[in-house]
A and B are shown apart, each in its own frame.
Chain A
Amino acid sequence: MKEFILKELGKNAEEYEVYLQKTEVNEIHLQKNKINFIDKTIDSGYGIRVHENGMGFSSSNIFSPLVIRQTIKNALKSSEMTQKVEFSFPSKQPSKEVENIDKKIKDKGDEAVREYANQILSSIPKDVLVSFGKIRTYDSHIEIINSEGLDLTREETNFMLELSIIIEKNGKKVEFWPHQYRRRIDDLPVSNLEEWIKMARDQLVAVQPRTEATTVIFSPTSVLDGLGSVIDPHSTGSAKINEISKFSPEDRIASDSLTIISDGLYPYGLMTSEFDDEGIPQRKNILIERGVFKDYIYDQFYAIKDGTKSTGNGLRQGDTFFVFDGKYGGMPVNMTSNFYVKPGNKTLEQLIEEVKHGILVDHFSWLIPDGTTGDFSSEIRVGYYIENGVLNKPIKGGLVAGNIFDMVKNISGISNQSVITSGGSVLAGVCPHIRFENVQVAGK
C-alpha cells in the first residue's frame, strides 16, 4: 500500500511526507499470581503531511484505496485552508548508527513475554501477592518518505512492565506499583523484583512526614518527571517562538552542578533512533551546561521559523499517554529526546551521609509539575527519612511541593550514576539521584 499512497500523493501534491508504522504488540496480564490474559495485536497506519499553503495533516489506519484517497484529500484541504507557512521537508542527511533493538522481541515477542511472565511468577515469595501485572512488547517497523527524496526505514522495540506488588501483615496491606518502559527486556531484569518487594515491605512501617522545609533527595525517576516536565517545555524552539520560554541562551538557571542534554543517541534510550520522526538525524544537544542554559532544540518547522536548522527534535508522542504503536496519528512535535542528566561525583551513599536531617523520595504517586509555571505538589508513595547520614524510617503520604525552577537553583549534590528510566509524566530519561535543599513538605 506504500506505493499506492505515494502514487496518489505524487499526483496531487508537490510537497508531502508519509509516516508509515506497523507494530506487533504481545501482551500478558497477571492477576493474583496467575496469568489471566493473553493478547496479540497488529496495529498499522499512516500519517500524511502536505505543505501547499499551510501545513496539512491527516491520518488513518485504514488501507483501502478509497480511504487513502480521502486521507490525502483531507490533508490537502487542511493545507489549503490553514495560514501560509514557510516550510520544506528535509532531505536525507548522514546519520549515526544507534542501538535500540532487542533481538528477543524482534525474533519472537510472544515467547519473550511468556518467558518473562513465567519468570516473574516463579520468583514471587509466598507472602507476596502480585495482584495485577502487565507485560508487553512492541516490535515496530517505521518508514518515512517525503517529496525531497528522503526514504528511510527503521526498526525499534519496546518493553513495558507494570506490577502491583502487595504484602499483608497483621491485617495491614501495602503496595508497591512499579511501571517502567525499556527498549530491551533484559534492561528490566526479573531480579528487580527483590528491590520492589523491599519497598513494599518498608511501607508496612511507614509514617506520614511532618510539615517542614528540609533536604530532599529525588530518585532517577522522580528527577525525570520533576525536571523533565519543566525543562523540556522551556528549551524548545517552539517555546521560544511562542514566547512561553523562561530561558534565554547563557541565562544562569540552575546550580553549577547541573548539566542536561537531549541525547537522541544514548544506547537503548527510549527515544533513541538514528533519525527523528521527520527523518532528521538525532544527536546530542546540550540544554543546560553547568547551570547555564545553552540553546534551544528544534524540529524542522520551528527551525525554519527561527532561521536555523533542525536539531533532530521532531518527535511523535501522545498528549496524555506514551505512544509506541500509534505514532502515525500525530504530527511531529518539537520536544526533548532522551532527557540525560549528567552524573555528579558522589555516590548515593555519600549524598545520604552528608544529610543531618532530610528525606529520600523514591516514588511519588504521580509527579507531574506544571510545564508552564514549574509548580508542583505530589504525594510521597515510597520515601525514607534520613537522620544523621543514615536512611531511617520509611515515609508514605504527605506532599512535597514547590517550584522546579526554584529547586534547580538549590541543588546540593548529584549522584555519580545516571540510569535509563521512564517516568509517569516524561517517557525517556537517563538520570541520577539529585539532592535539593530547602524543599517544602506538608504532612502532619
Chain B
Amino acid sequence: MEKIVQILGKTYYGDVRFESGNVLSIGKNKVEENINTASSIGLCIRVFSDNKWYYLGFNEIDEEKILDETKRLVRRVGNKPSKLLMQDPWEIEKEMKVKKKPEDISIDEKIKTVRNTFGRLMKNKTIVNASAVLAHANNETLFMNTEGSDLRQVLPFFRFSMSAIAKEGKRIEYDYFLLQKQGGYELFTSLDLDQEINNVVNSSIELLKAKVLRGGVHDIIVDPDVSGVIAHESFGHGCEADQVLRDRSYLARLLGKKIISELVSLHDNSSLTGERGYFLFDDEGIKSSDTVIVKNGVLNHFLHDRQSAIFMNSNVTGNARAQDFSRKVFVRMSNTYIEPGDWKHDELVEDTDKGFYLIKALTGMEDPLGGNLQLVTHKVREIKNGELGQLYKGVGISGKVLEFLSNVDAVTDDFDMRGSGCGKGHEDYVPVSSGGPYMRVRKAIIG
C-alpha cells in the first residue's frame, strides 16, 4: 500500500483501501441445513483530479500489475486543479473488542443451538416451517492516503434470526426476529430466547386471523422500528449532501429552518459502538462522529463526504462509504435515529381515542427529491378508547415526510435500534441501523 500511495503522491489527492473479511453462517429450515463460509479481499485505489473521481478495483493481488495500472492511471489523469476537503494526517489501529468471540465457540455447539432453536419454533402444529440462522463475520479495513493517514480497523459482526410460518388451509402468515449488531456471541447469550421464540410463533399464528385494513387518513402510533425506517429512508436520504449537490434533495434550501415538530430530534451517529452502522473511520479515512441532523424540529446539519463538505463549506461528518472495493464511495448514513421524548408508552396509548398502532417495518424506500414516504409495516392494531384491539395485516404509509413529522404530537421515552442493510437506490448496500421511540402522528395516510 505504501508503494501505491507513493505513486498517488503525484496527484491532487489519492487513497488506497484494502478490505478483507471472513464470514460463517449456519442456517436450518425444515429441509435444508447449511454451514456456509466465505472469505474475500479487495483493493480500491482512488484518484481525484479535475473534480472527477477515478477508481481502480482489484481482488487479485498481483503487485506488479496493480502498480503498473496505478502508474498508468496517474499519468492519464494527472494533477489537475480540484476542490476536495483535506485534513491533517492521523493514525489509528484498533480492533473492536467483544466479550465472547464467536470463533471460540465450536461449530458443533453453534449448530446445536441452531437445531435446537429450529425445533422449538416447530413445536406448535400450526407452524409448517421455520428457520433459524446464526452468522458472524470479521471485517478488516486498511486505509492510507496522500495526506499521510495510516488507519486500520477490525469490526466484528453478529447476526441471529428466526422466522416461523403458520398455515391454515390456503392462508399462510409468518413473523420473524432479527438481531444484527457489531459484537460477539454475548449478543446471543444475552437474549431471552424463550420469549423471542414465543413472540415469533404466537404472532405468526395470530396473524392467521388478522383482518385487512381499508386505507384512509388516521391518527397512528408507530413503534421504534417504524420510527427508525422513517428517520432513515423517508427523511435521512435527503440529508445526504451529495443529493443536495446534485439538486436532488427536498431539504436543500431548508438548513437552519424549522421543518418538523419540535418534539423530533434526529441523529446519524457512526460512533454508536456496537450498532450495525458503527465504524472508526469511513472509506475516505474520516473519523466517525455523531451528527445532529435535526434539533427540536430545526434542520441542523447535512451528512458529508470530502467533496460535498468543501462545496458546501461544511465540516466532514465521516459518512463516505462504499459497499465494497468494487463500488463507488457515496455519502451514506450509519446509525440513524430519532431521540426519545418524555411520554410513557402506556400513557400514549391511553391518550389516543381512535387510531392505529403500526408494528415492525418490512420495507422502506427513499425519495430524496420528492420527500415522499413509502414504507410498509408488518402488523397493525386498532386503538379504540385508549386500548389496543383488533389485529390487522400490515399497511403502507404514504404522504410527505415533512408534513408527516410535523404532525408528531407525542414521543415516548422508549428507544430501540435495529440493524439492517441500506441501498442508495436499489444497490450499493452498506450496513446500517435505524431506530427511535414510539411516536404518535396525527392524520397520516395509511393503506
Contacts and interface: CB of A to CB of B under 8 A. Distances in A.
Given A62-B40, A401-B396, A42 B129 contact: no
Interface in A12-68: 25, 27, 29, 31-32, 35-45, 54-63, 67
Interface in A67-114: 67, 70-71, 74-75, 77-78, 81-83
A401 B215 contact: yes
A190 interface: no
Contacts of A42: 57-60
B36 A78 contact: yes
Interface residues of B, number: 72
Interface in A387-432: 396-399, 401, 403, 424
Contact of A211 (B40, B165, B215, B248): B215
A256 interface: no
A59 B217 CA distance: 50
A366 B374 contact: yes
A257 interface: no
Interface stretch (B83-91, B166-174, B276-284): B166-174
Nearest to A329: B38
B214 interface: yes
A320 interface: yes
Contact of B52 (A25, A37, A398): A37
A331 B41 CA distance: 20
Nearest to A440: B215
A86 to B, nearest CB: 12
A43 B173 contact: no
A29 B111 contact: no
**B34, B42, B59 interface centre (most CB from chain A within 10 Å):** B59
Contacts, number: 234
A82 to B, nearest CB: 4
Interface in A302-324: 302, 305, 320-322
Contacts of B214: 440, 442
Interface in A113-152: 129, 131-132
Contact of B59 (A32, A45, A242): A45
Contacts of B108: 81
Interface string A369-400: 01011011111010000000000000011110
Contacts of B34: 54-55, 57, 78, 82, 331
Interface stretch (B223-231, B259-267, B359-367): B359-367
Given A242-B129, A320-B429, A321-B429, A440 B57 contact: no
A205 interface: no
Contacts of B393: 373, 375
A368 interface: yes
A443 interface: yes
B398 A399 contact: yes
Interface in B57-93: 57-60
Contacts of B30: 241-243
B416 interface: no
A404 to B, nearest CB: 13
Nearest to A246: B170
A372 B173 CA distance: 7
Nearest to A403: B212
A202 interface: no
B247 A129 contact: yes
Contacts of B256: none
Interface residues of A, number: 87
A173 interface: yes
A67 B21 CA distance: 13
Given A45-B59, A401-B396, A36 B52 contact: yes
Nearest to B328: A37
Contact of B421 (A35, A320, A365): A320
A372 B429 contact: no
A175 B165 CA distance: 39
B5 interface: no
B447 A377 contact: yes
A55 B35 CA distance: 9
A238 B363 CA distance: 24
Contacts of B9: none
A36 B39 contact: no
**B108, B372, B398 interface centre (most CB from chain A within 10 Å):** B398
A37 B329 CA distance: 10
B312 interface: no
A61 B216 contact: no
Given A44-B60, A58-B36, A321-B426, A372 B246 contact: no
Given A365-B372, A397-B372, A442-B216, A305 B31 contact: yes
Given A60-B38, A82-B33, A321-B429, A373 B172 contact: yes
Contact of A63 (B60, B246, B376, B427): B60
A155 interface: no
A162 interface: yes
B239 interface: no
A60 B41 CA distance: 8
B109 to A, nearest CB: 11
A300 interface: no
Interface string B19-50: 00000000001111111111111100000000
Interface string B324-367: 01101000000000000000000000000000000000110101
A428 to B, nearest CB: 14
Contacts of B374: 365-366, 378-379
A440 B326 contact: no
Nearest to A253: B170
B24 to A, nearest CB: 9
Contacts of B41: 61-62
A132 B396 contact: no
A164 interface: yes
A325 B38 contact: no
A368 B248 CA distance: 24
Contacts of A78: 34-37
A292 B35 CA distance: 38
A305 B30 CA distance: 12
Interface in B405-447: 421, 423, 425-427, 429, 445-447
Contacts of A44: 59-60
Nearest to A56: B35
Interface of A: 25, 27, 29, 31-32, 35-45, 54-63, 67, 70-71, 74-75, 77-78, 81-83, 129, 131-132, 162, 164, 166, 173-175, 177, 179, 211, 238, 241-244, 246, 301-302, 305, 320-322, 325, 329, 331, 365-366, 368, 370, 372-373, 375-379, 381, 396-399, 401, 403, 424, 440-444
Given A164-B246, A177-B425, A365-B365, 14 more contacts: A29-B328, A36-B53, A44-B59, A57-B37, A61-B39, A78-B34, A81-B111, A241-B30, A373-B174, A378-B376, A379-B365, A399-B445, A399-B446, A401-B215
10 contacts: A38-B53, A238-B31, A241-B30, A243-B129, A372-B165, A378-B396, A440-B447, A442-B398, A443-B398, A444-B217
Closest 6 CB pairs of A and B: A442-B215, A442-B447, A377-B396, A41-B57, A366-B365, A78-B35
Interface of B: 29-42, 51-60, 107-108, 111, 128-129, 165, 167, 170, 172-174, 212, 214-217, 245-248, 325-326, 328, 362-363, 365, 367, 369-370, 372-374, 376, 393-396, 398-399, 421, 423, 425-427, 429, 445-447
